[in-house]
Amino acid sequence: MNKSGEYYEAAGDRLAAEGRAEEALRAYRHAQGDHCQPMDLETYVRLQDKIIAILEADCLRRAMSAIGSIRTAKKAASARENGKRGGRPKKQRPPEA
């Protein structure tokens, strides 16, 4: 891999660490698609493994987010407040006419 490919791989690593999956995938694919110089199989497989890991982590994150399993500081603070008040607040029913 030439310097351009190494640059994009490093950029992909940085973006993946920041949780920016889509940009990291683009960088890794750009590093793979460097047509200026042929890429050895070991490098190609290493980049492909990184791409697969990001895709798996991103799918898991999205699935957990959809079911509300991800803990955030906001959720933790709300849970603490609810605990002090005796648990989760009950829904208020509208008065019957």
CB within 8 Å of 63: residues ≥ 6 apart: none
Instruction: Kindly tell me if the per-residue pLDDT of 31 is higher than 60.
Output: yes
Angstrom distance (rounded) from CA 69 to CA 6 = 36
Band (pLDDT 50/70/90 cuts) for residue 1 is low
Report the pLDDT value the prediction gives residue 70, as an integer from 0 to 100: 66
Q: Rounded to two decimals, what is the model's pTM?
A: 0.47
Residue-wise pLDDT tens digits, 52-86: 888 888 777 777 777 776 677 888 888 888 888 88
- Architecture of the domain defined by 3-72: Up-down Bundle (1.20)
Instruction: Decide: residue 24, CB within 10 A, 0-12 exposed, 13-18 middle, 19+ buried.
Output: buried
Type and span of the H or E element at 72:
none
CB within 8 Å of 18: residues ≥ 6 apart: none
Residue count (the chain) = 97
Report the pLDDT value the prediction gives residue 64, as an integer from 0 to 100: 74
Instruction: Kindly tell me if the per-residue pLDDT of 18 is higher than 60.
Output: yes
The domain segmentation of the chain, as residue ranges, is 3-72
Report the pLDDT value the prediction gives residue 35, as an integer from 0 to 100: 53
DSSP letter for each residue of 4-53: HHHHHHHHHHHHHHTT-HHHHHHHHHHHHT--SS---HHHHHHHHHHHHH
